[in-house]
Structure 1
Amino acid sequence: MNTSEYSDFKAGLLDQVSVLRANIRSGTHTSTTSGTAHSLVQGNVVILPADWANDFLLYCQSNPVACPLIGVSQIGNPALPGLGRDLDIRTDIPEYQVFRNGERAETLTDIRDVWRNDFVTFVLGCSFSFEDALIRAGLSIRNVEHGQNVSMYRSGITTQSAGRFHGNMVVSMRPFKAADAIRAIQITTRLPNAHGAPVHIGDPALIGITDIHTPDFGDAVTIGSDELPVFWACGVTPQVALENARPPIAITHVPGKMLLTERLNEELAVL
């Protein structure tokens, strides 16, 4: 693809995401973003008061697989120009989760009424970005095929504590036949900013998951008798750390309902 073709390709993608973002802002799209915004980076979001931001930044830096940081806002500024031209973090996520003192207090589709001038927004890479790469490589993604949210589980894998933040990793799961699982490892290893390679393959009990058919977040998907569950680190991990740290207020995305950026997945890939 030459420079002109690349520019036209990206312009077409941005037109598509502009329409989808408009639907999110208006409240007409409140469902999962899995399988949408093909080729564009999606992001997990954590919004915190400024006096909690340094601790959380250290937590991300200490746990880059679960919390691959791709964007941080200025204090009080809802824009993230490095990720989108007219992006407004207060309106551009299908559904938000508001935490108060570590408790999941409410969900909203617009956070302008609870926005504060001391908020800092963190955007973390998301596995939905590598789903696109897997699909383009010819692999089948069960949750995308069925129009479902991905299955996510609280695992027994510990993260490295930083300041007030600590907790176990949340993982997302996609089933594959063995040969496809190997191909998925090869592809996702090139995308460390979207969690990179899997953290576990096979027996879920080995990472503390007692019932693979009952995810803690998202939807349950069918796992064939000839398939292996493949687990990646998940950007819902910070939500567990928020529960433990108990800041007076924090806002995240609802699991599976991500921020759509204007960055191509390839721009964050390791060649």
Structure 2
Amino acid sequence: MSNPESFRELCRKEIHTGPTSGVLPGYIQANLLILPKCVAESFEDLCTRNPVACPILSKTEGRPQFLRNHASLIKQGTFDIRTDFPRYNVYSRGKLVQQKNNCVNEWSSDHVGFLIGCSFTFEHALEKAGLVPKNVLYNKNVSMFRTTKFLDSAGIFHQCPYVVSMRPYKLTEVEIVREITRKFKKTHGEPLDWGYDGAKRLGI
């Protein structure tokens, strides 16, 4: 694929249904969270208080085909937040109940979709520096862990644990990894911690 428009079409047609690590290097990637309007303000406040863990890139405004700052984000073709992601996890009362390739039937006018910066964005910069992430090398999803470190609370969102991704590097490579990823503040930035001691501090 050569551009985001063609990739969105692959998702829309349910051709690409897996992780997006290594897809379209050089473009920003996002995770998606869709919530009822009644808690959307609290969630946005949570993100404001925790900009490293939850960097908001945009959110839907009025309809699923339109984003805040739409023109600066979607430069070509059409966009629909209900169909243009590879996979949707559907939760009910905090429990995963279904995985689908679109959420057209679940979406209603009572929903707000948030785009949260994704760390896959900086993987290309690591590759260019000769530090190819293992998940890219082996075409796997990145390792993820729930920590014992909590976000600053907001509204109904309290005791929310940090969830971190992990990319293995040698200790001698950590500083250059930090230097490279530090620039990507809208997609989590540099590592929160590292090494075995870091894993212990995070409760992993």
TM-score by length of 2: 0.91
Q: Alignment partner of 2:90: what SS?
A: strand
Q: How does 1:96-111 map to 2 (within 5 A)?
A: 96-111=88-103
- Please state if 1:208 is matched with 2:203: yes
Sequence identity, in percent? Answer: 38
Q: How does 1:1-271 map to 2 (within 5 A)?
A: 15-80=2-67, 81=70, 82-84=72-74, 85=76, 86-166=78-158, 167-203=160-196, 204-209=199-204
Q: Structure 1, residues 78-115: CA drift from partner, whole Å, max 9, x if none?
A: 32224214111010111001111221111110111111
Match of 1:256 in 2: none
- Tell me the distance in 1 between the aligned counterparts of 2:143 and 2:93: 26
The alpha carbon displacement at 1:74 in A equals 0.7
Q: Structure 1, residues 105-163: CA drift from partner, whole Å, max 9, x if none?
A: 11110111111012111111110001111112221210100000000000111110100
Q: Alignment partner of 1:155: what SS?
A: strand
Do the aligned residues in 2 keep the contact of 1:98 with 1:106 (CA within 8 Å)?
Answer: yes
The alpha carbon displacement at 1:18 in A equals 2.3
- Tell me the distance in 2 between the aligned counterparts of 1:42 and 1:52: 24
Match of 1:246 in 2: none
Runs of 5+ unmatched residues, structure 2: none
- Tell me the distance in 1 between the aligned counterparts of 2:21 and 2:65: 24
In structure 2, what residue type is equivalent to 1:125?
G
The alpha carbon displacement at 1:198 in A equals 0.8
- Tell me the distance in 1 between the aligned counterparts of 2:191 and 2:12: 33
TM-score by length of 1: 0.69
Q: Alignment partner of 1:30: what SS?
A: coil
Do the aligned residues in 2 keep the contact of 1:50 with 1:75 (CA within 8 Å)?
Answer: no
Q: Alignment partner of 1:90: what SS?
A: coil
In structure 1, what residue type is equivalent to 2:180?
I
Runs of 5+ unmatched residues, structure 1: 1-12, 210-271
Q: Alignment partner of 1:122: what SS?
A: strand
- How many residues get paired? 196
Do the aligned residues in 1 keep the contact of 2:171 with 2:195 (CA within 8 Å)?
Answer: no
The alpha carbon displacement at 1:178 in A equals 2.0
- Runs of 4 or more above 4 Å deviation: none
The alpha carbon displacement at 1:168 in A equals 0.9
Question: Which has the bigger relative contact order, CA under 8 A and spacing at least 6?
Answer: 1
